[in-house]
Amino acid sequence: MISCSNPTNKRAVTLEELDSIQAQDKIVLETFVPRRDMLTAAEIIDVADCDNLSCIQLYMKNLSRDFVYGKKDEYYAAQRISIKDTAGNWLTLPASTFYVDVNPQATWRVAHTVHTKEQRDNLLNEFKNLDFQLADEGYYIGIKSKQQRYVSKKYPDKNLYVTATFHPFYMKGIYDNKVTWPCYVFEMYKGR
């Protein structure tokens, strides 16, 4: 009886087999891991063509590996990042958000918010590669900070608004309470 082997070993592996088991799992998990942390410029332009919420929802459904549906009108990047806020605290939050507002009295419609300067610079460069140039600057769409407006000859009916702010949205989603990290908001509208 004492020399019998441990019955738990039927559900265990040796250290040598551990490598192959982990490799198997990694292949399976890789199909679920998000591949990026924000929308591309092309996607933002495509979404701006949508007239209603169902069109946007259908579009985002294809991106569901990278953007998870939070609740109505709120999409979050599946990838999370850790950033240091203005008070020096480390925060862990989704790498970017994509919010929609369908209320008739809302001053904005669709906004993609990123949370680091690198993300903002990368995204802006993508737009600049599509010939978006700075048209003017001002207070436009209900956000209390100055926005820059970009237009491109390739997309004559589209306007891109970019702003950096600590008050992106009034009490919405993760921006509900005090926001202590800089948010860079990208909005694209057809025709305004």
Partner 1 sequence: MRIHTKYFFLFILAGIVFLSVRHWLDRKREKIQDIDIVRGDIDEGDSQLGLWAQKNDSALLMVRLRRDGSFDYQVVAYPVKDTLRYTGRYRILPSFVSNSRVSYPRLIAVSANGDTLINHFIQLTRAIKRNVDVLSLKANNDPDAPAILFYRIKQ
Chain contacts with partner 1 (rule: CB under 8 A):
1-2, 4, 6-15, 18-19, 21-22, 24-25, 68
For the chain, the straight-line distance linking the first and the last C-alpha, in angstroms and rounded, comes to 82
Tell me how far, at minimum, the Cβ of 84 lies from partner 1, in Å: 19
Q: What's the one-letter identity of residue 57?
A: Q
DSSP character at residue 167 = -
| Between 17 and 137, CB nearer to partner 1 | 17
Q: What is the token pair recorded at 53?
A: 């919420």
Of 117, 185, 183, the C-alpha closest to 149 is 185
| Between 63 and 160, CB nearer to partner 1 | 63
| Between 16 and 51, CB nearer to partner 1 | 16
Tell me how far, at minimum, the Cβ of 2 lies from partner 1, in Å: 6
| Between 66 and 187, CB nearer to partner 1 | 66
Tell me how far, at minimum, the Cβ of 59 lies from partner 1, in Å: 22
Distance CA 112, CA 106 (A): 16
Tell me how far, at minimum, the Cβ of 37 lies from partner 1, in Å: 15
Q: What is the token pair recorded at 162?
A: 């970019």
Distance CA 158, CA 151 (A): 7
5 strand-pairing partners: none
